[in-house]
Amino acid sequence: ILGVAVTAAAVLAGCGGSVGNSGGTNAKKLVLVPGVANEPFYISMQCGAQDEAKKLGYSLDTQAPTQFDASLQTPIVTGVIATKPGAILIAPTHATAMAAPIKQAKDAGIKIIEVDTALEDQSIALSSISSDNVKGGQLAAQTLAKLVGDKGSTLVINTKAGTSTTDQRAQGFADELKNHAGMSSLGVQYNNNDAATAASIVTATLAAHPDLAGIFATNLSSAEGAATGLRNAGKLGQVKIVGFDASPQQVQDLKSGVIQALIAQDPATIGVDGVDQAAAALTGKPVTRHIQTDMVSITQADMDSQSKYFYRSKC
């Protein structure tokens, strides 16, 4: 009799029927909502999540906004709620603006797992998986200090205010800079997660401050754009760049000497851990509230041995 009951539940799960314990959600269905579509950091995360979901017997659908923007991510979350997945793995594009739609998903009985970015309100997600971003910013400042001989002015190119990860990186960078008396800060400028805007910021800053020594670019778009800006200004090598992330373009820029160091994350493992935490939550097993994944500083000298950290542009 027990055998028959188990089979019936399995059939229901396969049909998207109402099984599990989550108020009518489909406990075998997961949805990943990245911060933006077609971007190597999130593609690598998706590859990891897909493999793990397959291994554990879950379906995983990915739905991403075309831009890193809460007004575009919100309707995606609302649409996903209607499909009643067991869990949503989400990278909130804003620490407060995404709280309402994600809470709505939680209230509908869907398990919430944060991958990479997080909400300020820690009561909504069951688990959050990310790099130690404050430490990443500190590491960036230490790396840049070495590259510029511990003196000169620095600029931070950030993405969008309200992005938990990049705000923490900028904070870590500013904190560490205080330990380097010979270095100064020209402040933080925002590129709206757009590489072309980052390139213009670099050109304009160099026009006003020709003695600029170093740039910390807090993510992929700011680092790719900073490299373009420096190339356009003809200041290659004079200004040192430390950039977060390791997209194919960033790796190419490191190889050709436009960028001097990359702080690479491990998005594939963030995806794997996200699925594991969702599966734990859906099967009543213990969930880990915060998980930190790897982060490593890569230079031209050691890039060949660090290629496992390079991001993918397809699975």
Element (H, E) at 8: helix 2-14
Q: Which of 143, 205, 219, 277 binds ligand T6T (CB under 6 A)?
A: 219
Q: State the alpha helices, DSSP H only, in 65-107.
A: 70-82, 99-107
Distances (CA, A) of 209 to 159, 186, 280: 21, 9, 53
Number of residues that bind ligand T6T (CB under 6 A): 14
243 lies in the binding site for ligand T6T (CB under 6 A) = no
Give the shortest CB-246-to-ligand T6T separation in angstroms. 10
Instruction: Tell me the per-residue interface mask from 24 to 63 with ligand T6T, x by CB under 6 A, - otherwise.
Output: -----------x---x-x----------------------
Give one DSSP letter per residue of 190-257, joined into a string. E-TT-HHHHHHHHHHHHHH-TT--EEEE-SHHHHHHHHHHHHHHT-BTTBEEEEE---HHHHHHHHTT
* Of 205 and 265, CB closest to ligand T6T: 265
Q: Which of 128, 165, 191, 260 binds ligand T6T (CB under 6 A)?
A: 165
Residue 247 has phi, psi (to 5 degrees) of -70, 165
* Of 27 and 140, CB closest to ligand T6T: 140
CA distance 118 to 19: 29
Which of 1-9, 70-78, 216-224, 297-305 is the region at the interface with ligand T6T (rule: CB under 6 A)? 216-224
Q: Which of 245, 253, 266, 276 binds ligand T6T (CB under 6 A)?
A: 245
Map tokens 């790796």 to a residue: 251
Residue ranges in contact with ligand T6T by CB under 6 A? 35, 39, 41, 116-117, 163, 165-166, 219-221, 244-245, 265
